[in-house]
Amino acid sequence: MAHEPPDSSRHGDSGPSADAAAEPTLPQQLPEVASSQRATLDSRNTDVRLAEDETAAAPSFRPPIAAANPDRGIGALAHGEQIDDFIVERVLGKGAFGVVYLARQVSLDRQVALKVGANEGSEGRTMARLEHDYIVQVFSESIDATGRLRLLCMQLVPGASLEGVIHNLHRRDAEGRCGWSGADYLAVVESRAQIHDVLDTTAIRDRELIAGFDCVQTAAWVGGRLAEAIDYAHRQGVLHRDIKPANILVNQYGRPMLADFNISLRAAEDGAPSDTAFGGTLAFMAPEHLDAFSNQNGATVDDVDEQSDVYSLAIVVYELLTGGRPFCEVRRSENRTRFVRDLADARRAAPPPLTDEPPSARKTLLRVTARGLEGQKGDRWRSGAEFAAALDGCREMRTAERDLPAPKWFTKSAWKAPFLWFALLAVGPQIIGSVVNIAYNFAEIVGSLEREQSDLFFSRLVPIYNGLVYPLLVAVGVAVVAPVYRVWRQLHSSQRVSEEAVAEARKRAVALPYWMLGIAAAGWLPGGLVFPWLIDRLLDQPVDGQVYLSFVMSFTLSGLIAVAYSVCGLQILVLQVLYPRLWNDPTSFRQVARSELANTPFRLWLINLLSAVIPLVASVIVLAPPAVAAFRNGERTVTEPIGVRLLLLALILLGIAGFQITSAATRRMSRSYNALIGAQS
């Protein structure tokens, strides 16, 4: 088991992860309830941090003898003293269920953790069936010669308890800003460990992985491994019922290992004993666990199930990430039964422990944890496996965030106000297209129209067209983006959000560039044919074919500018700002991203194509009208006015520059896409 330096701020630990000099806090009697019920009420705290270190017993079960006094009939074993096959080296810790020693097993000449307690309970038989990388292994169980003591020989885990690790990490990060990293986590474990392990080549990969993590990745990884451990235990028919940081050991490679199954419940089979002690730690109990503990609301021990363990683990993950507990204070009552009931009612009614902050992988991890802390079982993760998958998705999500290209000024600004930037990126290219359109129309088309035709075009047709088409297209754009905006605001807040709504908003966000393409094209391209046709129909003066061609060229060029650059800008916004943060349940993050972003490579190719066409169209506009005029007049050449040629030459040069910019942008977006799906750039 783990051994770490004594910590005077901690009171007794109920298992092998306790510090060397820690003295046990004895369970106190609750006179207001059944006389056999015990709970720990830690006088150091006035909120739900009460009873944070002690395991207690409940009235429905016969409490273990050792729970009344960990030293009753046991006595301290001195250094060098032998008991059965073990020679004691020193005390690792004391708890309500016995004393844990660092000992040497004589027959096999190895160091082990030896737990010596009263000959009661079935912890050894329970843990022996749990062979898992993230659960402390039991090697053997024996009874001493007197028949009064049970000796539990367990795996020695060099490292520290997660409780001490959390304390040290967040003492460095007093403001809870998640400034610690995986390397800090490993350093704390190393600093608290007094027993060092030999090189474990199978575990060193974990250490290398954690060393590159930040706090979000580390908390999600640790929580995910523990969730896998409790899911494995549940599938073996074992409930832990006392999951807390003090009962979790962290070895020197960063691996968390679940320990202390003193009050676990093993499914009755083959005559297995069912008189297991029932209790837990108030600060980590689910509402139904508190109800059963205090005989409230008709709750029984059968109501404490797999989801209750998930609830306790969610508190552990929250505490590792933030350094605090997820609940508001509950006023301590002199009537202790009432106090336990108030705790249960508060946790059942409390909203998820979230704060208002922009969506991110950290916020998603808090939401995943909050779902594990729902007061009603039906709203929680159904199993440890589901919880583990969601936590691993948070880790993948944070990895993708970190792998995205380093944010430029645009990305940093867009993180703060993404929908303001959506409006700018949607409208800005339309304005540029309008400027080009107006300039070309005045330079090329107006001179080819009669006065009445020109007045009709500028005074009546343009205002009517713009007054009808643009408001309609703006309304379509608002309708498309509104659901994404609503969900973004909900994710920004502390309110619950349905997974269905978030998934739909994410899909809509992915589709925004296509919607922009359609809206911009619908606004621009028809004008090239509609305007000359209306002029031709509304006046008796027929429109020349060259004017038709000029209109088509003008609106095509303006439309290409509006479409290419708005689609490019929105695609950047989606890939680097919106999509990575529109998540509520990130289970299978990479797989879902690959599916939802599957056509991104085609979009990037399309953006490059559209931007490349702009200077080509400008070149055609320079050459086509003179060539057509020369052909019709039977002349060899017709020279364009110098102003028109300068305008179109400028458009060609700007188009080439725009192509270079969009090419760089698409390369950056390609890196973002690869980061999101987990592919190599």
Q: What is the pLDDT of residues 192-224, one digit of tens each?
A: 887 766 667 667 888 999 999 999 999 999 999
SS3 of 128-197: HCCCCCCECCEEEEEECCCCCEEEEEECCCCEEEHHHHHHHHHHHCCCCCCCCEHHHHHHHHHHHCCCCC
Question: What confidence category does residue 13 fall into, taking pLDDT thresholds of 50, 70 and 90?
Answer: very low
Domain ranges of the chain: 409-677
Q: What's the CA angle centered on 251, arms 248 and 254, to 5 degrees?
A: 95
Residues 6+ apart with CB under 8 A from 407: 415, 576
Answer yes or no: is pLDDT of 236 > 50: yes
Cβ neighbour number for residue 197 with a 10 Å cutoff? 14
Q: What was the pLDDT predicted at 52?
A: 32
* Phi and psi based region of residue 190 (left: phi greater than 0; alpha: psi -120 to 50; beta: remaining): alpha
What average pLDDT does the chain have?
80
> 298 pLDDT band (50/70/90 cuts)?
confident
The full DSSP string for 546-593 is HHHHHHHHHHHHHHHHHHHHHHHHHHHHIIIIIGGG--S--TTHHHHH
Q: What is the per-residue pLDDT for 122?
A: 66
How sure is the predictor about 625, in pLDDT bands with cuts at 50, 70 and 90? low
Give me the mean pLDDT over the 626-633 stretch: 51
Q: Which of 117-131, 361-375, 589-603 has the lowest mean pLDDT?
A: 117-131
244 annotated as a binding-site residue: no
Beta bridge partner(s), residue 141: 152
The identity of residue 416, as a single letter, is K
Quick check: 463 pLDDT over 70?
yes
Residue 274 has pLDDT above 50, yes or no: no
Residue 263: what pLDDT?
53
pLDDT above 50 for 9 = no
User: What phi and psi, each to the nearest 5 degrees, are found at residue 154?
Assistant: -125, 165
Q: Is 146 left (phi over 0), alpha (psi -120 to 50) or beta?
A: alpha
Distance CA 55, CA 27 (A): 8
In what helix (H) or strand (E) does residue 87 lie, and over which residues does it extend?
Answer: strand 86-95
Query: Which residue did the predictor score with more confidence, 368 or 102?
Result: 368
Tell me: pLDDT of 178 over 80: no
pLDDT for 28 equals 32
pLDDT digits (tens, 9 = 90+) for 275-294: 445 677 888 999 999 988 77
Residue 289, number of CB atoms within 10 A of its CB: 29
- In angstroms, rounded to a whole number, what is the distance separating the alpha carbons of residues 295 and 442? 86
Q: What residues does 250 pair with on adjacent strands?
A: 160, 256
Res 37 pLDDT > 60: no
Better-scored residue on pLDDT, 360 or 61: 360
CA quadruple 642, 643, 649, 655: dihedral, nearest 10: -170
Q: Is the pLDDT of residue 368 over 50?
A: yes
Q: Which pLDDT belongs to residue 22?
A: 33
Please give the pLDDT value at position 652: 79
Distance CA(571)–CA(552), nearest Å, equals: 28
